[in-house]
Amino acid sequence: MGLLVDGTWDPNATGDTVASDRFERSKAQIRNWVTEDGSAGPSGEAGFKAESGRYHLYVAWNCPWAHRTLLMRALKGLQQHVPISVLAPKRTEDGWVFDPDNGYVDTLSGASALHEVYSAGTDTYTGRVTVPVLWDTKPGRLVSNESAEIIRMFNGAFQSVCDNKTDFFPQDLREAIDEWNSFIYPKLNNGVYRAGFARSQSAYEEGVKGVFEALDRIEKTLENSRWLLGDTLTEADIRLFPTLARFDVAYWSAFKCNQRRLIDYPGLWAYARRFYALPGVAETVKLDIYRRGYHSRSDVRNPHGIVPLGPIVDFSEPLAAA
Do 221 and 42 meet the contact criterion of CB atoms below 8 Å apart? no
Residues 136, 94, 10, 2, CA torsion sign: positive
Dihedral sign for Cα 13, 251, 241, 185, please. Answer: negative
Strands (E), 128-179: 133-136, 141-144
Q: Residue 193 catalytic?
A: yes
Q: Indicate which residue of 55, 193, 276, 294 is catalytic.
A: 193
Taking the C-alpha atoms of residue 52 and residue 70, their distance in angstroms, rounded to an integer, is 16
Asked whether the beta carbons of 7 and 116 are under 8 A apart, the reply is: no
Catalytic residue (choose from 63, 204, 257, 265): 63
> What is the torsion angle, in degrees rounded to the nearest 10, for the CA atoms of residue 94, residue 100, residue 104 and residue 106?
80
CA 87/CA 106 separation, integer angstroms: 8
Could you say which DSSP state residue 295 is in?
T
Question: Is 63 one of the catalytic residues?
Answer: yes
Residue 144's DSSP bridge partners are 31, 134
- Catalytic machinery residues: 63, 193
